[in-house]
Amino acid sequence: MRRVLRPLLRNRLTLGGFVGLLGLVLVAVTAPWWVPFPEHGGAARNLAHRLQPPDSTYWFGTDDLGRDIFSRVLLGTAISLRTGALVVAVAAGLGVTLGAVAGYAGGLLDEAIMRVTDAFLAIPSLVLALAIGSALGPSLTNALLAIALVWWPWYARLVRAQVLSIREQEYVAAARSLGSGAGRILYRHILPNAMAPILVQASLDFGYVILTAASLGFLGLGAQPPTPEWGLMVSVGRKFFPKWWWVATFPGLAIFVAVLCFNLAGDGLRELSDPRLRKLDGQANKEV
Amino acid sequence: MLDYTLRRIAFLALVLFVVTTITFSLAYLVPGDPARLVAGDKASQEQVEVVRIRLGLDRPIPVQYAMYLGRLLRGDLGRSLHSNRPVLEDIRDFFSATFELTTLAMGLTVVIGIPLGVLSAVRRGSLVDHASRLFSLAGVSLPVFWLGLLLQLAFGMALGLPIAGRVSSRVLMDAPLQTVTGMYLIDSLLTRNWAVFRSAATHIVLPMVTLALPSLVLVTRMVRSSLLEVLVQDYIRTARAYGFPERVIMFKYALKNAMLATLTLIGLAYGYLLGGSFLVEAVFAWPGLGRYAASSIILSDYPAIMGVTLLVTLAYGLVNLAVDLCYAWIDPRVKLR
């Protein structure tokens, strides 16, 4: 454990990412109890104080309905983290299942699944998510579904490659000769050994999913008012931009910070999990 | 090479088939009755039924799908429920605006991203390199729609760069632009309409920079890592031993091999640009496909949405086809796979 943790923590940027993530989770879980105006997370109105610039009461200013943007941004953390977790879980679930079946079964089934996977990968993901989202109708749940539906192929491809190499291992042959069925071999013997790259991929995806969900929210296809979803808040704030710049600026900053934390942490994990990359960096250091 | 090209084209056809299948099945999830939408609110039930039969909506779904594919093959993307014009005609003007924006953003990505990646690799471990890691991770974490707003605030207000539209309407009124390609910069150059050219050029700066930034940092990162991978190879050490200048080694021997992976990424980055353009167009009131799609979504004009999705996928597919062919041309081993 220490051997894994030490290089991870030695890199300041990676460390910063993990600390930031911890902070985000803490805020997401505890925000409803301590933000200055918890009722402003919903449709509350406070018209006497609409569009107030940041001051000591309203740290990030107020929006067009007089709601405290600081409270709304913090309350929105839970929405974004939940979005990321749900999409990654659904996409990884779907992708891992299809990829594992393709890799283990081989032959025509493998060929069919992988061609469809490739075709999905060849469609610009935001555009496809938009088409799916617009057919399903604008809501946060539908946006989640739309993103998950364009995200699974990456996992399918990754898992298939893993399964292909692991299924030739001797312990798999041993399990087979003991009479284990295909399902048992896949879930008990192959997949647990293929998990590491999947987890790294998931950690990297988290940030992108949050970004995509915010983009759909910005285009009006994600969360609907009065949800304090960051992308939606930027979209509303755009109408008051640049004169009342704070309405759009702070939710946007929140998206940026959250995604950056996930990317820093994910990038650190990826470098750690790829020994080739680590060694290469070391060598290049010596030679260049 | 011919065999490889044909295989790639067959794959593009498969991609388009999958897209049409997805969008066609989704069309059945759209709430509301399309025949009623076309006939209008005031139409009687009989009139709606007449429209239904005219549009072929009373046939079994597989037959409708086959008819739809048949029409697509003839270049008929259907009629917009809103404007009642052929979708292809609706899209044409918007497409050239998006194409102009994404192509310039792609150019910026390549022109700045590659030298920056080389610099980062050469100075590995230095402050420049660490800054570049943070810079690139920050770049891909930025919501482009928010970045656009910030740039509007910083450069639009301070430098007076225009923050909305493709060209100033006053300039266009004084010096009308003859349409040749639909791309304002090229058209104004061809017709020597300098006033419009200047106006169009200043209008495109901010959207282009906004759109290019995320893909620019991706390319920088990719050039850096593939260059580092190449620099530890034996043939580079041999070249060093021969005493070639570092510049020659870098650009003549190393970069050429490092470009292979970068080329693939550039193809992928075009997809980011196309998706990103939908957001950037919303921020900068750029009259492109994204704006058209956004208004179609609000009007639940599904034929238009299907048309845009298909066209964007086709554009992305063609760019990647070109990239793959370049790749095969640079690295002959690819063809054998």
In whole angstroms, give the CA distance from residue A215 to residue A229: 11
Within 8 A of B294 by CB-CB distance, chain A residues are 219-220
In whole angstroms, give the CA distance from residue A105 to residue A163: 10
In whole angstroms, give the CA distance from residue B119 to residue A256: 26
Within 8 A of A124 by CB-CB distance, chain B residues are 271-272, 274-275, 312-313, 316
* B122 confidence band (pLDDT: 50, 70, 90): confident
* A288 confidence band (pLDDT: 50, 70, 90): very low
CB contact under 8 Å between B14 and A130, yes or no, is: no
CB contact under 8 Å between A135 and B302, yes or no, is: yes
pLDDT for B32:
67
Q: At residue B98, what is the residue type?
A: T
Nearest CA of chain A to the CA of B55: how many Å?
20
Average pLDDT of chain B, as a whole number: 84
A146 touches chain B (CB under 8 A): no
DSSP string, A62-94: B-TT--BHHHHHHHHHHHHHHHHHHHHHHHHHH
Q: Please, what sign has the CA dihedral across residues A62, A63, A68, A70?
A: negative
Rounded percentage of chain A residues whose pLDDT exceeds 70: 91
Evaluate whether A244 touches A65 at the Cβ level (below 8 Å): no
In whole angstroms, give the CA distance from residue B218 to residue B222: 6
Binning chain A into helix, strand and coil, the percentages to the nearest 5 are 80, 0, 20
Reference A285, options B15, B76, B123, B133; nearest CA is B123
Copy the structure tokens of residue B86: 């052929």
Nearest CA of chain A to the CA of B7: how many Å?
13
B261 touches chain A (CB under 8 A): no
Torsion of CA A150, A155, A158, A163, to 10 degrees: -130
In whole angstroms, give the CA distance from residue A217 to residue B62: 34
* A281 confidence band (pLDDT: 50, 70, 90): very low
**Is the pLDDT confidence value at A21 over 70?**
yes
Average pLDDT of chain A, as a whole number: 85
SS3 A50: coil
In whole angstroms, give the CA distance from residue A284 to residue B228: 6
- As a whole number of Å, the end-to-end CA separation of chain B is 12
Reference B144, options B213, B62, B57, B236; nearest CA is B213
Annotated domain spans of chain A:
2-287
CB contact under 8 Å between B316 and A124, yes or no, is: yes
A153 touches chain B (CB under 8 A): no
Distance of CA A196 to the CA centre of its chain: 17
A214 touches chain B (CB under 8 A): yes
Write out pLDDT tens, residues A71-107.
999 999 999 999 999 999 999 999 999 999 998 888 8
Within 8 A of B27 by CB-CB distance, chain A residues are 135
In whole angstroms, give the CA distance from residue A222 to residue A146: 10
Nearest CA of chain A to the CA of B317: how many Å?
7
**Is the pLDDT confidence value at A285 over 50?**
no
Predicted TM-score of the model (pTM):
0.86
pLDDT for A73:
93
Kindly report the CATH number that applies to the domain delimited by B92-330. Answer: 1.10.3720.10
Is the model more confident about B268 or about B317?
A: B317
B157 touches chain A (CB under 8 A): yes
Q: Which residues are paired to A62 by β-bridges?
A: A68
DSSP string, B253-296: IIHHHHHHHHHHHHHHHHHHHHHHHHHHHHHHT--SHHHHHHHH
CA distances from B35 to A132, A133, B81, B329 (A): 21, 22, 10, 50
Binning chain B into helix, strand and coil, the percentages to the nearest 5 are 80, 0, 20
Contacts with A, B 192-221, CB within 8 Å: none
Nearest CA of chain B to the CA of A235: how many Å?
9
DSSP 8-state class, residue B332: T
A2-287 CATH choice from 2.40.37.10, 1.10.3720.10, 1.10.287.110, 1.10.260.40: 1.10.3720.10
Contacts with A, B 271-330, CB within 8 Å: 271-272, 274-276, 278-279, 282-283, 293-294, 296-298, 300, 302, 305-306, 308-309, 312-313, 316-317, 320
pLDDT for A10:
65
Contacts with A, B 216-245, CB within 8 Å: 225, 228-229, 231-232, 237
pLDDT for A233:
93
Residue with tokens 């820093």: A264
Least CB–CB distance from A219: residue in B30, B142, B294 = B294
Nearest CA of chain A to the CA of B132: how many Å?
12
Nearest CA of chain A to the CA of B140: how many Å?
8
Residue with tokens 């420049």: B128
Is the model more confident about B162 or about A8?
A: B162
Annotated domain spans of chain B:
2-73, 92-330
A231 touches chain B (CB under 8 A): yes
CB contact under 8 Å between A120 and B18, yes or no, is: yes
Q: At residue B46, what is the residue type?
A: E
A276 touches chain B (CB under 8 A): no
Is the model more confident about A212 or about B266?
A: A212
In whole angstroms, give the CA distance from residue B73 to residue B77: 9
